[in-house]
């Protein structure tokens, strides 16, 4: 009887609402270590910590940003790292979100009418289009490069999960930032971690109303874990 009632009740609920409610359970039960990481007052401090963690700010890095909008963050990282061998790649449709985002977002939000930001730095490249259509171009640009930094700012669950999976295929450990973590990015990271057996370490956060908004992590794909284990036993 109870089972039937629960099944009926769950069938009447909006799946979108259930998914949003899941986020807080994931934060509490699956990512409890988030409560112990250093908390910063702004994103610039968090970004600086991430760059310092790659053995100094001026070492050559490969920076990839999913979700560019007006280019504020990719411009910041390019200015913060002066190494001439660094590469900064921003991916965006520049036409806004393809689907509704949470309770406040709308289709087409962040639309800049296709205008790519103007940044006077030859190390900065932009790939215009949906992520699934520009991945091959990105892979060709970053193949064989080291010190990977990925900024996940796509906001949507679908986009974030897709890009996490594609970056995983490179088999490289890397530094990752999440820009709107508590929400759809929380579910995307959890589902990615469970599906791909990746190692995720939380290194710092910026809070909003007590929940992690901006997040700094270190992600090690399973392929990279195996390679490190093999090298250790050789």
pLDDT 10s digits, 173-225: 999 999 999 999 999 999 999 999 999 999 999 999 999 999 999 999 999 99
Q: Model confidence at 170, in pLDDT bands (50, 70, 90)?
A: very high
% residues pLDDT > 70 (the chain) = 86
The residue behind tokens 């890095």 is: 61
- Alpha carbon 187 to its chain centroid, in Å, reads 12
* CATH architecture, range 15-233: 3-Layer(aba) Sandwich (3.40)
pLDDT at 54: 83
Q: Model confidence at 111, in pLDDT bands (50, 70, 90)?
A: low
pLDDT at 105: 66
Report domain extents, the chain.
Answer: 15-233
Q: How, if at all, do strands 211-220 and 199-208 pair?
A: antiparallel
Greater confidence (200 vs 98) lies with 200
pLDDT at 103: 60
Q: How, if at all, do strands 174-178 and 211-220 pair?
A: antiparallel
Token duo for residue 63: 């920076």
Mean pLDDT of 123-142: 97
The mean of the pLDDT values for the chain is: 90
Q: Do 105 and 97 form a contact (C-beta atoms < 8 A)?
A: yes
């Amino acid at each position: 009887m109870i089972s039937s009632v629960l099944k009926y009740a769950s069938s009447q609920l909006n799946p979108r609402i259930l998914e949003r409610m899941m986020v807080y359970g994931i934060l509490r039960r699956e990512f409890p270590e988030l409560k112990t990481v250093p908390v910063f007052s702004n994103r610039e401090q968090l970004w600086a910590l991430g760059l310092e963690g790659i053995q100094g700010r001026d070492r050559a890095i490969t920076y990839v940003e999913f979700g560019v909008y007006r280019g504020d963050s990719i411009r910041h990282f390019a200015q913060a790292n002066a190494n001439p061998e660094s590469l900064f790649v921003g991916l965006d449709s520049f036409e806004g979100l393809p689907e509704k985002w949470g309770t406040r977002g709308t289709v087409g939000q962040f639309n800049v009418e296709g205008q790519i930001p103007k940044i006077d730095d030859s190390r900065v490249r932009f790939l215009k289009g949906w992520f699934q259509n520009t991945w091959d171009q990105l892979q060709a640009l970053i193949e064989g490069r080291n010190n990977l930094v990925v900024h996940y700012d796509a906001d949507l669950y679908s986009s974030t999960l897709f890009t996490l999976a594609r970056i995983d295929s490179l088999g490289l450990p890397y530094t990752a930032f999440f820009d709107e973590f508590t929400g759809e990015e929380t579910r995307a990271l959890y589902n990615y971690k469970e599906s791909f057996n990746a190692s995720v370490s939380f290194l710092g956060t910026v809070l909003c109303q007590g929940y992690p908004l901006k997040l700094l992590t270190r992600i090690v794909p399973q392929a990279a874990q195996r390679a490190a284990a093999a090298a250790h036993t050789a």
